[in-house]
Amino acid sequence: MPKSRLHDDAMIELLREDPSFAKAYLHQAFLDIDEDGGQEAFLMALRHVVEARGGMAKIAKKAGVSRETLYRTLSPTGNPTLKTLRNVISAIGFHFSSLASI
């Protein structure tokens, strides 16, 4: 198994076990979004939290998008609309305002 997959699995497990860590993780990724690579890092963090909160299929359904759309949205080259981001963030139990401050 590639090291990146092992890292992803470990991160998802940590996020699953500690909801306050999930909030802090997304908060920091949100704060860094304007840095080089920040958008990609934010989408990766969001993807990790989506997996920790039930997986792509469950969160896609709650967000009102297809599973394929969610995968594409949260890919490293994803370019999600504000509406889709808002729906996904809401589906995992957060709001944009909670990402901007702790």
Report pLDDT digits (tens) over 11-61.
999 999 999 999 999 999 999 999 999 999 999 999 999 999 999 999 999
Residues 56-78: tens digit of each pLDDT? 999 999 999 999 999 999 998 99
Which of the two residues, 30 and 99, has the higher pLDDT score? Answer: 30
CA dihedral 20, 23, 29, 30 (to 10 degrees): -150
Question: Rounded distance, CA 88 to CA 95, Å?
Answer: 9
Q: What percent of the chain has pLDDT over 70?
A: 95
